[in-house]
């Protein structure tokens, strides 16, 4: 596969993986490409923990599902991220950013425009929508053959200092290498984010993974091989659009948007 094809095909996987374990050869390759990422002064601040043990995956899945239910029940999730939700393909096409939130449970679809209101929150809670979505999230994580914890060395990751920026930047480069390589390997990947949304739950995961004091747990991902055909999952907030170059590229100074690039190639499309 050509490199540019890999970049353009990169996706976030919102659906289920095959149950097959990720081969040790592929695990090793993913960690090799992570280790080849750039880092300030070759500090290589990243550390990784590969998790295949079912009890640990099940426990993290339970935390993730419960966290999703809580964040959606108390309204903090919608309040925090409402600038990024779009409710029609037309809005998505116009804005070209955010997530298309078009898969509300059937009883709620007539109330889509009210999803961020107090009435909409009460309605969702009454219909136990947060619990339904939380259970689906738990199943997705529990069905993953492999989890990947990403950590940073605290001697480099010192919030408020320049070294912290360097280390986070390097971690992002390492994970982009991993993400792109999953495309080549026929795998999918998704960030397990909801435990970060609820106080105390992220620390539970750090304890499960026995993260030592000198490391900071920064992220956990679920990975696995993709089935040949995928149905659209119950939790599927798609993001097919990308901003046009004229919306994020400037020429010479930030006063002058780049012109003439908006119709080139496949630059405006992607997912997740």
pLDDT digits (tens, 9 = 90+) for 195-214: 999 999 999 999 999 999 99
Order of all β-strands in the sheet with 215-225: 46-51, 146-153, 215-225, 187-191
With bands split at pLDDT 50, 70 and 90, how would you rate the model's confidence at 121? confident
With bands split at pLDDT 50, 70 and 90, how would you rate the model's confidence at 232? low
Please report the pLDDT score of residue 267 as a whole number. Answer: 46
| Residue partners of 47: CB distance under 8 A and separation at least 6 | 150, 151, 152, 153, 215
- Counting residues of the chain whose pLDDT is more than 70, the rounded percentage is 88
State the Cα angle at 66 between 64 and 69, rounded to 5°. Answer: 110
**What is the rounded CA–CA span in Å between residue 12 and residue 239?**
9
If you average pLDDT over every residue of the chain, what do you get? 88
Please report the pLDDT score of residue 105 as a whole number. Answer: 61
From the list 260, 240, 251, the residue with the least C-alpha distance to 95 is 240
With bands split at pLDDT 50, 70 and 90, how would you rate the model's confidence at 111? low
| Phi–psi pair at 146, nearest 5 degrees | -150, 135
Least confident of 56-70, 159-173, 239-253: 239-253
Please report the pLDDT score of residue 12 as a whole number. Answer: 87
Does residue 234 have a pLDDT over 70?
A: no
pLDDT digits (tens, 9 = 90+) for 13-40: 888 999 999 999 999 999 999 999 999 9
pLDDT digits (tens, 9 = 90+) for 84-95: 778 778 888 888
Query: Is CATH 3.40.718.10 correct for 3-230+237-247?
Result: no
H or E, element range at 224: strand 215-225
**What is the rounded CA–CA span in Å between residue 121 and residue 108?**
11
Q: Strand pairing of 215-225 and 146-153?
A: antiparallel
pLDDT digits (tens, 9 = 90+) for 220-230: 999 999 998 77
Mean pLDDT, residues 226-241: 71
The domain spans of the chain are 3-230+237-247
pLDDT digits (tens, 9 = 90+) for 66-81: 999 999 898 888 788 8
Cα–chain-centroid distance for residue 75? 20
Position with higher pLDDT, 63 vs 272: 63
């Amino acid at each position: 596969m050509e490199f540019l094809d890999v970049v353009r095909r990169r996706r976030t996987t919102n659906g289920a993986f095959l149950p097959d374990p990720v081969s040790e050869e592929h695990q090793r390759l993913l960690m090799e490409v992570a280790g080849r990422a750039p880092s300030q002064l070759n500090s290589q601040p990243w550390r990784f923990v590969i998790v295949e043990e079912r009890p640990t995956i099940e426990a993290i899945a339970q935390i993730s599902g419960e966290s999703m239910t809580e964040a959606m029940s108390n309204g903090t999730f919608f309040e925090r991220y409402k600038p990024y939700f779009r409710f029609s393909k037309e809005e998505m096409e116009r804005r070209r950013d955010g997530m298309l939130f078009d898969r509300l449970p059937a009883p709620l679809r007539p109330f889509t425009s009210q999803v961020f209101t107090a009435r909409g929150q009460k309605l969702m809670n009454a219909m136990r929508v947060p619990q339904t979505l939380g259970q689906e999230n738990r199943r997705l994580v529990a069905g993953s053959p492999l989890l990947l914890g990403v950590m940073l060395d605290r001697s480099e990751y010192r919030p408020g200092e320049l070294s912290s920026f360097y280390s986070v930047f390097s971690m992002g480069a390492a994970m982009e290498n991993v993400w792109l390589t999953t495309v080549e390997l026929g795998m999918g990947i998704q960030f397990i984010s909801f435990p970060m949304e609820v106080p105390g739950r992220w620390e539970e995961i750090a304890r499960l993974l026995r993260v030592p004091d000198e490391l900071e747990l920064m992220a956990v991902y679920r990975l696995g091989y993709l089935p040949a055909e995928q149905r659209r999952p119950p939790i599927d907030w798609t993001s097919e659009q990308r901003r046009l170059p004229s919306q994020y590229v400037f020429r010479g100074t930030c006063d002058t948007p780049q012109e003439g690039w908006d119709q080139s190639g496949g630059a405006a499309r992607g997912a997740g």
